Amino acid sequence: MRSGRWFVSVVFLIVTVVAGCSSSDKGAPRSLTGDWHGAIEVPGAPLSVGVSFADNGSATIDIPLQGVHDAELKDVSTQPDRVAFAIPNLPGDPVFNGKFDKGSDRIVGEFRQAGQSLPLTLQPGKVEQPAHPQEPKPPYPYRSEDVTYRDGDITIAGTLTEPEGNGPFPAILLISGSGAQDRNEELMGHKPFLLLADTFTRAGYAVLRTDDRGVGGTSGKLDDANYNDLADDAAAGVRFLRARPDIDPAHVGLFGHSEGGYLAPLVAARPDSGIAFAILMAGPSVPGWEVLIEQNRALLTAAGAPQSRVDEQVAYITEWTSLIRSGDLAAAKDLSQRHNASLPPEQRASADVLNAYNTPYMAAFIRYDPAPALSALRIPVLAFFGTKDMQVLATQNEQPMRDRLAADPDATVHVFADLNHLMQPANSGLPGEYTTIQTTISPEVLGYVTAWLAQHAPTR
């Protein structure tokens, strides 16, 4: 989930970086405006960064391997012989201090975070972006149209892709994972929904992908929404598709990733929904609070945390989710603040992050039990998991998914070996790997799902 903001954020701390510049010497100082790049000299694993300085004194940072793009910096200084800035709202108060070396045309300094200092030298030019060879590039062999439609007071914006020809086409609505996602479900530099839309459209399906509430062209605020609201948004997308003459209204299906795997069955199980099929990629089959507890346990264990730290975190998450399930959000927020204050400074979350943990949206996830919706489905369903998924564990969710879909005469549950939450080939499966893997979605998965569609939801 961003694709699991919630499925990662409680324990996944982004290791961040910083850079800066200034200059002075005899004569006119060299302007530092523009792009600079370098690497924080983390032992055994240098971390590439890019910093862009603007004429107005502001600056942004890119950290490609962590999916950070154009993040605003604060406390920027480009005074002679002093280049400095900080990354806001991150644990350990990351800052950079350095100076411009005119002779080498470099900015030389140190990046400091949580009491540790590492060398960082920047040189002119943009930071190199990781290769994503699967990312579709125009021109496309199909039509692409930006669209908008309404769900009550909410305006939803997205992109509809359609095969060449007159149709009517079967259609697929993509439903993203947790957190505020754009229509491509962009995460750590990857664009899974752009790739899925391209794959399915080439196979003969119209595909609608949308921005979440509060993202891009979609109005509203995700943190204020509950699951009924989000299911209504998806249902509005289905109505939009069915109203078009180029779409076959009897053959509109749903594809949900992560939290989208909660929402797709919720929509499909509504009376008279008319949903033709559902595909659930890493969609949970147990209640949200159970998913979150097991996710925390798995992530910390895989990261090498001592058992005492694992037990402490699991106990905290268990108590915190219990308070949210009971409806006492104020007590849950107080507990999260006290727990945060008890952590070492480099592990503490910012106030904004803490507030984001204690919202109606987060409460909806924690309280949700997918069993009734999954058990009610009587349409073709494909649910699949990866054995290296540390966010929605196959060991926790595969068998319950089979049990809940047992009464559905056309349900398939499949587990892919060695794939993570994004269905990438993985080593540890930890979220920190996502950007280091060039593959966006394993071709094995793309081929399997496309073949399933051809058999269970054919284009003609």
- Predicted pLDDT of residue 348: 79
User: Cα(302)–Cα(296) distance, rounded to whole angstroms?
Assistant: 10
Residue 35 and residue 119 in one domain: yes
* pLDDT one-digit tens code per residue, 417-432: 999 999 999 999 998 8
Spatial distance between the Cα atoms of 48 and 45, rounded to a whole number of angstroms: 9
Asked if 78 and 21 touch (Cβ cutoff 8 Å), the reply is yes
Q: Are residues 166 and 223 in the same domain?
A: yes
* 91 CB burial (10 A radius; 0-12, 13-18, 19+): buried
343/152: higher pLDDT: 152
Pairing mode of beta strands 278-281, 247-257 = parallel
Helix (H, G, I), strand (E, B) or coil at 226: coil
Residues 119 and 158 in one domain: no
pLDDT digits (tens, 9 = 90+) for 173-225: 999 999 999 999 998 889 999 999 999 999 999 999 999 999 999 999 999 99
pLDDT tens digit string along 240-289?
999 999 999 999 999 999 999 999 999 999 999 999 999 999 999 999 99
Cis peptide preceding 139, ω within 30 of 0: yes
pTM: 0.83
pLDDT band at residue 227 using 50, 70 and 90 as cut-offs: very high
Residue 134 lies in a domain: no
Asked if 386 and 334 sit in the same domain, the reply is no
Do 193 and 232 meet the contact criterion of CB atoms below 8 Å apart?
no
The stretches of 304-393 forming alpha helices (DSSP H) are: 307-326, 329-342, 351-357, 360-367, 371-376
Boundary of a domain, candidates 350, 365, 380: 365
Helix (H) or strand (E) holding 34: strand 34-40
Q: State how many domains the chain has.
A: 3
Residues 201 and 265 grouped into a single domain: yes
User: What's the token pair of residue 296?
Assistant: 């925390």
Helix axes 288-302, 360-367, angle to 10 degrees: 90
pLDDT at residue 80, rounded to an integer: 67
| Predicted pLDDT of residue 30 | 74
313, pLDDT greater than 50: yes
Residue-averaged pLDDT of the chain: 90
Question: Parallel, antiparallel, or unpaired for β 154-163 and 142-151?
Answer: antiparallel
Q: Is residue 234 part of a domain?
A: yes
Which CATH number does the domain housing residue 407 bear? 3.40.50.1820
Domain-located, residue 133: no
> Is residue 60 located within the same domain as residue 150?
no
The C-alpha atoms of residue 445 and residue 448 are separated, in whole angstroms, by 5
| Same domain? 390 vs 446 | yes
User: Does 73 share its domain with 202?
Assistant: no
**For 241-255, b where at least 16 C-beta lie within 10 A, e where not — what string?**
beebebbbbebbbbb
What pLDDT was estimated at residue 15?
31
In a domain, 421, yes or no: yes
Domain match, 279 and 247 both: yes
Structural domain harbouring 201 = 142-286+369-456
Is the per-residue pLDDT at 64 higher than 50? yes
Q: How confident is the model at residue 44 (pLDDT cuts 50, 70, 90)?
A: low
From the list 127, 157, 172, 174, the residue with the least C-alpha distance to 219 is 157
pLDDT, tens digit (0-9, with 9 covering 90-100), for 427-458: 999 988 888 899 999 999 999 999 999 999 98
CA–CA distance, 196 with 3 (Å, rounded to integer)? 15
CB–CB of 347/313 below 8 Å? no
| The predicted structure's pLDDT at residue 92 | 75
Distance CA 175, CA 325 (A): 25
Q: Has residue 132 been placed in a domain?
A: no
Asked if residue 12 has pLDDT above 60, the reply is no
The sheet with strand 82-86 has its strands ordered as 68-72, 59-63, 47-53, 34-40, 116-124, 106-113, 95-101, 82-86, 74-79
User: Over the stretch 368-381, which tens digit does the pLDDT of each residue have?
Assistant: 999 999 999 999 99
Asked if residue 315 belongs to a domain, the reply is yes
Is residue 131 domain-resident? Answer: no
Do 340 and 278 share a structural domain?
no
DSSP codes joined into one string, 376-422: H--S-EEEEEETT-SSS-HHHHHHHHHHHTTT-TTEEEEEETTB-TT
In SS3 terms, 83-152 reads as EEEECCCCCCCCEEEEEEECCCCEEEEEEEECCEEEEEEEEECCCCCCCCCCCCCCCCCEEEEEEEEEEC
- Residue-wise pLDDT for 132-168, tens only, equals 999 999 999 999 999 999 999 999 999 999 999 989 9
Task: Report which of residues 29 and 203 the model is more confident about.
Answer: 203
Residue 136 lies in a domain: no
Percent of the chain with pLDDT over 90: 76
> ∠134-137-138 over CA atoms, to 5°?
155
Look at the chain and count its residues.
Answer: 460
Confidence label for 58 from pLDDT (cuts 50, 70 and 90) = very high
Domain boundary among 342, 365, 388: 365
Q: Scan for tokens 């549950």, then name that residue.
A: 413
State which of 89, 124, 159 marks the end of a domain. 124
Same domain, 238 and 282: yes
Looking at the structure, tell me whether residues 269 and 380 fall in a common domain: yes
pLDDT number for residue 21? 31
State the residue for tokens 């049990």: 403
